[in-house]
Amino acid sequence: MMVKLFVVMITVLLVSGCSGTDDSLDGTPSPSESTTTPSGVLTWVGADGGYEAIVSGTLGIGSNGCFELDGYVLVLPPGSSALPDDQGVDVPGIGRILVGDSVSTAGGYVDDTTNMKTEGNRDCLPSKKGVEVAVVSS
C-alpha cells in the first residue's frame, strides 16, 4: 500500500511539473510571451501643414505606451520609426532621439486632432478636443 501511494505521489508531481507555461529556470520569458510593448509611434500623412514654431522637451513614453514630448503625445513626420525595444525614435532629417534626450526642432502644437491624417498607433491620439499634441515638421 505504501509503495502504491509513493508511486501516485511521484506521478502527480511529474505531471503537474510539466503543465506550467514557463519552461525556463532562469526567468527568461518563453517565446509565446512578449518582451516588448506595442510601439507608440504616430506619424502624420500629407503636407506638414507649415508648422514653423518650435517644439521642445524631453522624449519619453507615456503610461499608454506612446512617445511623448514633455507629456504631449508626439506626432512625427512620415518615415519615422521606433528604435528596437522602443528605446527612442528615428526621425528623417533629425536622426535618432533616445528616450530621455532633450529635443528642440521645428513643429507646432495642435489641440484638435479629429481631422488629422495619421499612420501608426492611432490609440495615442487624444479622444477629445482641447488636448494638445506636439507635431514635428520634416
- Tens of each residue's pLDDT in the chain, 138 residues: 444 433 333 333 333 344 443 333 444 333 333 333 447 888 888 765 567 889 999 999 998 899 999 999 999 999 999 999 999 999 999 999 999 999 999 999 998 888 888 898 888 888 888 889 999 987
Give the residue from 99, 86, 104, 105 showing the smallest Cα distance to 59: 99
Contacts by 81-84 with C-beta closer than 8 Å and gap 24+? 81/41, 82/39, 82/40, 82/41
Contacts by 99-103 with C-beta closer than 8 Å and gap 24+? 99/59, 99/60, 99/61, 100/58, 100/59, 100/60, 101/58, 101/59, 102/56, 102/57, 102/58, 103/55, 103/56, 103/57, 103/58, 103/59, 103/69
As given in the structure block, the three cell numbers for residue 42 are 504616430
The pLDDT of residue 48 is: 53
The pLDDT of residue 126 is: 87
The pLDDT of residue 50 is: 67
Cβ-contact 135, 73 below 8 angstroms: no
Give the residue from 55, 41, 39 showing the smallest Cα distance to 132: 55
The pTM (predicted TM-score) of the whole model is 0.69
